[in-house]
Amino acid sequence: MNPNQQKFIKMFVILAVLVLLVGGLTQLFKGNSQSLSDYASRHPQINPSEQESNQSEASSEPSNASESEAEPDASSAEDTERSDEATADNLKKPSSSDKPLPVGALLNGDSQLEHRTAYSEAFYYEPLSDNLRRYITGVSFPQTNEGSESLAISYEELSYLHILHYDFNGELTEGELICNKAIAPDLVEIFYELYRNEYQLEKVRLIDEYDGDDTSSMEDNNTSCFNYRKVEGSSSLSKHALGRAIDINPLYNPYVTYNADGSEHISPENAQDFADRSKSFPYKIDEDDLCYKLFTEHGFIWGGNWNSSKDYQHFQKTE
C-alpha cells in the first residue's frame, strides 16, 4: 500500500469516529430533553405568577375575625357577655368517666324534664319522680301508714336540685340536694355563684346515702339539706325536716352547744379541731366568707350568729 492510500484510510477512520461521536451526543441530548407540558405533568404545582396573585389577594382582604376584634359593636359585646354568663358551666365539665351518676339524677332521669326549672345547664330543680320518692321513703322521708300522724311536709312540697361544685381536690363534680321547693330558686342561684367562684365543697350528696344518719353525713363532711328529723337533743322538728335548712361543709363548721357546767358539746365529734373559731383554717365559714355572704343576701339566717348555741354549718330560711 502506497503512502497516499494509507493517508486516505486514516482520514476515513477519523471521519467515521467523528460521525459516531456526533450521533451519540445527539441521541443523548434528545433523551434528556422534554417539553414544558411533559414537565408540568410530572411536577404539578401552582404557576408562580398565579401563586403571587393568590397571596396578593389574600393579604388585601382582612379576615372577619380581625374586623370583629378591631371594631366590636355594642350589641355583639352584650351578646357575648350574656352568653358567657349563661353558659359558664359549659366551660368546664366534670370528668364523669370515673365518677358514677348521682343517685337522684339517675332515679329522676328525664322524667321531670317538662317541669324542670334550669338556672343554667347543670343547675336546675324539679319535682321528685316516683322512683326518687320510693328511694327516700323510710330513710330521709318517713314511712307513713294509713291513720298515722300526718307529716309536716309532703312530697309535692319538695324539689330535687342538681348542681356542679368543686371538691377539695379542685375537681369539678356533680352534686345534688332535696329541699323545700320554696327555697329551690335561692339555692340554685347560690350554688351557681359558689361554682363560678370555685368555692370548694367536699361532697354534696343526698343524706339517704348515709341511711338518713345526720351524724354520719357530718363526719363525712357532706353538705346536705332535707332530712325529716328532730333537732339534736330535742323533741322539736328541725328545719331540715321541712327542707328549709342546709348544712355546708359540716366537719369544718360544727354544731356547738353549751352544757350547764360550762362545757361544750361538739357535733360531729371528729370536728373538735374546728370548734375554736378564733383559729384560722380552710373551709371555715364566718362573716367574711363568700358562702355566708350569698346565703344572707338571699334572706337566710346563719346558725353561727345564735347565742344559746353555735351552728356554724347551718343556714335556714323559713319565710
Residues 6+ apart with CB under 8 A from 40: none
Residue ranges of domains in the chain: 87-316
Q: Which of 314, 279, 283, 319 is nearest to 299 (CA)?
A: 319
* 55-79 pLDDT, tens digit each: 444 444 433 333 333 344 444 444 4
Average pLDDT of the residues of the chain? 81
Output the pLDDT for position 28: 42
Neighbour count for residue 254 (Cβ, 10 Å): 24
Output the pLDDT for position 39: 35
Which residue is listed with cell 339539706? Answer: 225
* 96-154 pLDDT, tens digit each: 456 778 999 999 999 999 999 999 999 999 999 999 999 999 999 999 876 567 899 99
Where would I find the H helices in the chain?
3-32, 36-42, 48-60, 64-70, 74-86, 103-108, 130-136, 184-196, 214-219, 290-297
Output the pLDDT for position 7: 63
Given a cut of 70, the residues of the chain with pLDDT beneath it are 1-10, 12-13, 15-98, 146-148
pTM of the shown model: 0.71
- CA 313 to chain CA centroid, nearest Å: 25
